[in-house]
């Protein structure tokens, strides 16, 4: 079925960008959606917007890099739902600098949010996923995991680690019926890339090397995330779908 009716979905970093679009996509497909964000103001504003469209959604304040916040979130889901069908590890952060300019704190923060948090959420939510219907995990990686796109070394390293995490868990948990996949976006119009998108000297080469000659919209990532969570994708696991407008296969 091309829907996710009655599935319980958790999207981390769900108030902005790709996560926000994913929340909306899952709701449109009939799922019951929970999402996290760090700022309560952002959560309430998004909840109000969705409520006005007739959707019921629950947002929760959580810093995914903090162990106590992760554990509290899992307790909340366990208490309210007792299961989870889909986990979308989307929350991300980046700090663009040359390799020599990063502080140890910045490096650790990038790894904590982009790599460690998805691993810990996957492990903490494993018992609830076992109780879910055809459960799956979708990790939001980046094209920076595979090639250098001037995003900064720590970000690329973290996303590359996330891809390997995807493969490892896909194999290990296949026997439990849990599928694990990833998507790797190219430049997408989100708050994370907003500052870069306005820099003509940086974006002109990006557009020139992208066959579709434009950046992506968050909704174009959300639709792929949702597909990977559907029953129609039931034989897909351990895969990384590159969503880049053809950039990675173009020589010019």
Q: What are phi and psi of 14, to 5 degrees?
A: -100, 5
Mean pLDDT value across residues 1-10:
92
Measure the CA–CA gap between 164 and 155, rounded to whole angstroms. 14
Q: What are phi and psi of 28, to 5 degrees?
A: -65, -25
- Checking if the pLDDT of 126 tops 70, the result is yes
pLDDT at 251: 63
- Confidence bin at 252 (pLDDT 50/70/90): low
- Confidence bin at 90 (pLDDT 50/70/90): very high
The alpha carbon dihedral of 29, 182, 236, 74 has a sign of negative
Mean pLDDT value across residues 24-40:
97
Active-site option among 55, 126, 155, 235: 155
Give, in degrees to the nearest 5, the angle at Cα 233 between 139 and 122: 30
- Checking if the pLDDT of 194 tops 80, the result is no
CATH 3.30.70.100 correct for 8-189+217-242: no
- Confidence bin at 246 (pLDDT 50/70/90): very high
- Checking if the pLDDT of 190 tops 90, the result is no
Measure the CA–CA gap between 162 and 113, rounded to whole angstroms. 11
pLDDT at 199: 86
pLDDT at 79: 97
Question: Length of the chain in residues, anyone?
Answer: 252
Contact 155, 114 (CB under 8 A): yes
- Confidence bin at 1 (pLDDT 50/70/90): low
- Confidence bin at 134 (pLDDT 50/70/90): very high
Measure the CA–CA gap between 181 and 166, rounded to whole angstroms. 6
Terminal Cα-to-Cα distance of the chain (whole angstroms): 39
Count Cα neighbours of 246 within 13 Å in the Cβ-side half-sphere: 11
User: Mean pLDDT in the chain?
Assistant: 94
Residue 155 among the catalytic residues:
yes
The DSSP output letter for 243 is E
Task: State the pTM of this model.
Answer: 0.95
- Checking if the pLDDT of 76 tops 90, the result is yes
CA 135 to chain centre: 16
- Torsion region of 205: left, alpha or beta (phi above 0 gives left; psi -120 to 50 gives alpha): alpha
Share of the chain above pLDDT 70, in %: 99
Mean pLDDT value across residues 82-99:
96
CB environment 151-188: b (16+ within 10 A), e (fewer): bbbbbbbbbbbbbebbbebbeebeeeebbbbbbbbbbb
The alpha carbon dihedral of 107, 108, 112, 116 has a sign of positive
User: What is the torsion angle, in degrees rounded to the nearest 10, for the CA atoms of residue 111, residue 117, residue 119 and residue 124?
Assistant: 160
The DSSP output letter for 216 is B
């Amino acid at each position: 079925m091309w829907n996710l009716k009655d599935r319980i979905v958790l999207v981390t970093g769900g108030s902005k960008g790709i996560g926000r679009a994913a929340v909306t996509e899952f709701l449109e497909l009939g799922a019951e959606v929970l999402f996290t964000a760090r700022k309560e103001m952002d959560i309430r504003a998004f909840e109000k917007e969705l409520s006005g469209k007739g959707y019921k959604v629950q947002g929760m304040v959580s810093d995914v890099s903090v162990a106590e916040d992760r554990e509290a979130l899992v307790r909340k889901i366990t208490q309210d739902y007792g299961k989870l069908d889909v986990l979308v590890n989307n929350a991300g952060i980046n700090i663009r600098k040359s390799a020599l300019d990063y502080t140890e704190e910045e490096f650790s923060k990038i790894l904590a949010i982009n790599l460690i948090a998805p691993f810990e959420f996957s492990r903490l939510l494993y018992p609830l996923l076992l109780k879910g219907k055809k459960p799956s995990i979708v990790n939001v990686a980046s094209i920076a995991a595979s090639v250098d796109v001037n995003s900064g070394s720590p970000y690329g390293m973290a996303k590359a680690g996330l891809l390997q995490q995807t493969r490892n868990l896909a194999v290990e948990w296949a026997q439990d019926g849990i599928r694990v996949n990833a998507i790797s976006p190219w430049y997408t119009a989100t708050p994370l890339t907003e500052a870069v998108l306005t820099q003509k000297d940086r974006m002109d080469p990006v557009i020139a090397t992208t066959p579709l000659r434009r950046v992506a919209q968050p909704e174009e990532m959300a639709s792929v995330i949702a597909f990977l969570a559907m029953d129609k994708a039931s034989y897909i696991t351990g895969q990384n779908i590159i969503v880049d407008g053809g950039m990675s296969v173009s020589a010019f």
